[in-house]
Structure 1
Amino acid sequence: MIKHYIGTKIVLALAMTRLAYNEYRGWTLPEDENGADEGYLVEYTDGGAANHPDHTGYISWSPKAQFDAGYVSVGAVGHLPPHQQRVVAELEQLVDRVQKLEAFLATPLYAGLPDDERQLLKMQADAMVLYMGILNTRAAKFA
């Protein structure tokens, strides 16, 4: 059975076309692929064997649309210890989720939900904003 997963890794990414990535790896672009496709060289630094001599982590290429849908920028956090990087990443993910939830609360779909479900979503948004404040306070101490 196929299962659904949510990614939780902090990765390094560099904007790079499919062709540039293939050239970087020393590969020939397959004839059925578009070399102008926008995307990212992605380096996974939290495990996995390196597969390129210029990188300490495993690298791959991701199309821009899939990358943008799956990752939220956390900025330049490489100078922070891993536990602080995770706090910053969690904060940025939470900001993104709060923005999306608040946008949903302004839609006709939300307005058409039963009263109890609308109330629970408002309570969820309030709790998320409170949690965001706590993470903001913690992250402000990392500077």
Structure 2
Amino acid sequence: MTQSYIGTKQILAWEQDKDGQPGYAVKYADGYVSWSPKDVFEAAYIPIGHVDHLPAHQQRVIGEKAQLDDKVGKLTDFLDGEFFRSLDAAEQERLTVQLGAMREYQQILAERIAAF
């Protein structure tokens, strides 16, 4: 039986063309290196900058904030869209409260990162 999965991993990558196609070389934690087309790579990964000098737990906090920033941006855009306005008032309220909680969480992560 098949099911859906969502994965989270931190990788090292650099832009690299292959056969004239733009993409990224990807190095995984176990040392395995592969290549991914640009559009596939950018749909799957969010950049977190140069963090190799930081301890692993701090790298994870930075990654968590980057993912949250992406989700907040997408939810903000959704709340400004046509489909949101078609939802019933109770669901609009839940989504608005959710965005507020996410922004609070964003602020906490930002303060933790500033303290590194």
Shift of 1:4: 1.8
Describe how 1:92-111 pairs up with structure 2 within 5 A: 92-111=66-85
Which residue, 77, 85, 91 being the options, matches 2:65? 91
Deviating 4+ runs (over 4 angstroms): none
Which residue, 15, 22, 26 being the options, matches 1:42? 26
Contact 1:7 1:70 in 2 (8 A): no
Looking at CA atoms only, which structure, 1 or 2, has the larger radius of gyration?
1
Shift of 1:3: 2.1
Rounded Cα–Cα distance in structure 1 between residues aligned with 2:4 and 2:38: 21
Question: Which letter does structure 1 place at the counterpart of 2:60?
Answer: R
Gaps of 5+ in 2: none
Shift of 1:89: 0.3
Q: Which position in structure 2 is the counterpart of 1:3?
A: 3
Q: Which position in structure 1 is the counterpart of 2:98?
A: 124
Describe how 1:8-23 pairs up with structure 2 within 5 A: 8-18=8-18
Rounded Cα–Cα distance in structure 2 between residues aligned with 1:79 and 1:141: 15
Q: What is the number of equivalent residue pairs in this alignment?
A: 116
Contact 1:15 1:40 in 2 (8 A): yes
Secondary structure of the 2:36 match is strand
Rounded Cα–Cα distance in structure 2 between residues aligned with 1:2 and 1:66: 22
Q: Which position in structure 1 is the counterpart of 2:52?
A: 78
Contact 1:102 1:125 in 2 (8 A): yes
Question: Which letter does structure 2 place at the counterpart of 1:9?
Answer: K
Contact 1:15 1:39 in 2 (8 A): yes
More helix by share: 2
Q: TM-score, normalised by structure 1?
A: 0.78
Shift of 1:37: 1.4
Shift of 1:2: 2.5
Q: CA RMSD in A?
A: 0.9
Q: Which position in structure 1 is the counterpart of 2:39?
A: 65
Secondary structure of the 2:27 match is strand
Rounded Cα–Cα distance in structure 1 between residues aligned with 2:10 and 2:97: 29
Q: Which position in structure 2 is the counterpart of 1:133?
A: 107
